[in-house]
Amino acid sequence: MQRLNYFQQSSELTKKLMEFGALFQKTTIEAPIRELVEIRASQLYGCAFCVDMHIKMAKIHVERELRLHHVATWRESTLFSPRERAALARTEVLTRLPANGVPDDIFERVRTQYSEKALSDLTFLVGAINTYTWNRLNVAFRMVPGSSDKAFGLDKANLE
């Protein structure tokens, strides 16, 4: 059960977070990869609201359903390109930040798939999903998955 509606209680802060999030649509990271990153980070945080929302967004943007099911097991799946795998590896290492930082092998794998600008944009994206607190807010207040579908236009995903 939802604890409180932070959208209403802190509407100005929520609005600013949404504006910040919208900036990622203008980066070098293409929408399908952005969505995979957001889904994976949300899975790692255990944020049902965000997983639900990002899967619906990906579905609206014509992501294949089987790939959505495979995000959690991307290492074993054959459905992801080297570029997508690099983004997912970067997402995991930055979300679960190891005590010794990002290992060189992961950095090099990502660097072979992305320009310096794109690598910077990708890192900002992963950092944003982890630091601009959507996952933390939604977990803290137990946001109900699907409760904002109409407001975000996610009802168009036709997933029930």
Q: Using 50, 70 and 90 to split pLDDT, how confident is the model at 158?
A: confident
Q: Which domain holds residue 65?
A: 6-157
CB 88 within 8 A of CB 40: yes
Task: Note the pLDDT of residue 44.
Answer: 93
83-119 tens-digit pLDDT: 999 999 999 998 888 888 899 999 999 999 999 999 9
Task: Note the pLDDT of residue 133.
Answer: 62
Residue 66 pLDDT more than 70? Answer: yes
Q: How many other C-beta atoms can be found within 10 angstroms of the C-beta atom of residue 149?
A: 16
Task: Note the pLDDT of residue 138.
Answer: 76
Fill in the amino acid letter for 78: T
**Inside any domain, residue 103:** yes
**Inside any domain, residue 32:** yes
Handedness of CA 51, 126, 82, 108 (dihedral sign): negative
DSSP element (H, E) containing 85: helix 82-95
Q: What is the CATH number of the domain that holds 31?
A: 1.20.1290.10
Residue 124 pLDDT more than 70? Answer: yes
Domain count, the chain: 1
Residue 82 pLDDT more than 60? Answer: yes
Between 81 and 159, where is the model more confident? Answer: 81
**Inside any domain, residue 1:** no
How far is Cα 132 from Cα 155, in angstroms, rounded to an integer?
24
Residues 6+ apart with CB under 8 A from 30: none
Nearest 5°: the CA angle 92, 117, 76 is: 30
Task: Note the pLDDT of residue 131.
Answer: 63
How far is Cα 142 from Cα 41, in angstroms, rounded to an integer?
17
**Inside any domain, residue 24:** yes
Q: What percent of the chain has pLDDT over 90?
A: 52
Task: Note the pLDDT of residue 60.
Answer: 93
131-153 tens-digit pLDDT: 656 767 777 778 788 888 888 88
**Inside any domain, residue 137:** yes
Residue that has been written with the tokens 């999030």 in this structure: 21
What's the pTM value of the predicted model, to 2 decimals?
A: 0.83
Task: Note the pLDDT of residue 144.
Answer: 84
Residue that has been written with the tokens 């390109």 in this structure: 81
Task: Note the pLDDT of residue 2.
Answer: 82
